Chains A and B, each alone.
Chain A
Amino acid sequence: MFESIQIQVNGQPRACRAGATVGELLRELDITSERVAVELNLEILDRKEFDHRGIRDGDRLEILSFIGGGSQSMEVARNCLRVVRSGTWTRMIG
């Protein structure tokens, strides 16, 4: 058994091996894409730091990547699409 610490990843609590690096955590999470950004306690990390930066108890990590988007938030987008595809939109305007 390894010593375990508590961290938060993308808002979710998670146990992590003490002494693990950001790079190790990413591999553990099966995040292999190069196009991710990692924010550690609000500090954006350079990709080169991933394998050197150790994670400490209570750390808060955000792991982000690119998704489909034009403008606006995804919630609004999804609602909008529902309206567009259901045809109510045309009726609203027409």
Chain B
Amino acid sequence: MDTNDRLTIAGREFKSRLWVGTGKYKDFIETKKAIEASGADVVTVAVRRVNITDRSKENLLDYLDPKKYVILPNTAGCYTVEDAVRYARLARAAGVSDLVKLEVLGDDKTLFPDTAGLIEAAKILIKEGFIVLPYTNDDPVVAKKLVDIGCPAVMPLAAPIGSGLGIRNPYNLKIIMEQVKVPIIVDAGVGTASDAALAMEYGADAVLMNTAIAGAQDPIAMAEAMKYAVHAGRLAYKAGRIPRKLYATASSPIEGML
């Protein structure tokens, strides 16, 4: 991998352009192996009540070396500004960093973000010194607003969370990538490796996924596939693809033919 091609957000440098969630795995061993195979150095985690009745249960963070991974807490499951802000503050208090992947959900069937609530919550948290990475819709206007209020990156969805539908609106994502001058992390909805490669070919700076890996028949193999897909997509984007044409252009010269 090209070590000069690093992703930088709010002054932090990231090695990998594939970020992964840690939910839905069979167990922590599988989680750890899949993350290792993915090569990701950013992993998202959720904030939940500690099980106080059964302390025998192991902790996810025992399996993830904080020196090796950037732990990115999210506000998953929050449907109001108040809840999202509360969870973000709790995540910071639990002591990883000021980073938060901010989610304010608007609908429990689609898990689409409530973008009005998202902007409101982002404003509050940015004022408190958080580095807010907002999970947003594929809406260029909202993406611009999020940047205007101080988000150092935006995370538009490809499709509903966990849907595996791939990039539903490539044109909107393209517009976001052209118009927004901060890193774009395509978040949610990726189903398989080609979806991730496509996101990167369009010009995304990174891709974040969870279900596409954890829900695969072989999560560890899929994690590896995603690593190569993101890398291939990035290289293709930087290489610059040929324009699409309706008719053929011969690859072999006519000269010298009989």
A residues in contact (CB < 8 Å) with B: 9-12, 29-31, 33-39, 44-47, 62-74, 76-78, 80-81, 84-85, 89, 93
Contact = CB atoms under 8 A, between A and B. Distances in A.
A81 B216 CA distance: 10
A67 B60 contact: yes
B247 to A, nearest CB: 34
A6 to B, nearest CB: 16
B45 A67 contact: yes
14 contacts: A9-B52, A34-B95, A44-B89, A67-B46, A68-B22, A69-B21, A69-B22, A69-B45, A69-B46, A70-B23, A74-B23, A78-B24, A80-B215, A85-B215
A12 B165 CA distance: 40
Contact of A63 (B23, B52, B164, B211): B52
Contacts of B65: none
A71 B76 CA distance: 5
Interface of B: 20-25, 28, 31, 44-50, 52-53, 55, 59-61, 71, 73-74, 76-77, 89-91, 93-96, 103, 105, 108, 111, 135, 161-162, 164-165, 187-188, 208-211, 214-215
Instruction: Name, among B25, B95, B108, B165, the residue most crowded by chain A CB atoms within 10 Å (CB to CB).
Output: B95
Given A36-B94, A72-B161, A72-B162, A77 B52 contact: no
Instruction: Name, among A31, A45, A72, A73, the residue most crowded by chain B CB atoms within 10 Å (CB to CB).
Output: A72
A37 to B, nearest CB: 4
Contacts of A77: 23-24, 162
B50 A63 contact: yes
A35 B96 contact: yes
B44 A69 contact: yes
A62 B49 contact: yes
Given A10-B52, A30-B55, A70 B95 contact: no
Given A71-B44, A72-B161, 15 more contacts: A29-B52, A33-B59, A34-B95, A35-B95, A64-B48, A66-B45, A66-B46, A70-B22, A71-B187, A71-B188, A72-B76, A72-B162, A73-B77, A77-B23, A84-B211
Contacts of A12: 52-53
Contact of B49 (A63, A76, A80): A63
A90 B222 CA distance: 16
3 nearest CB pairs, A to B: A70-B21, A70-B210, A69-B46
B74 A89 contact: no
Nearest to B53: A12
B49 A64 contact: yes
Contacts of A84: 24, 162, 211, 215
Contact of B111 (A31, A63, A76): A76
Contacts of A93: 164-165
A29 to B, nearest CB: 5
A47 B66 CA distance: 19
B50 A31 contact: yes
A28 B47 CA distance: 22
A39 B90 contact: yes
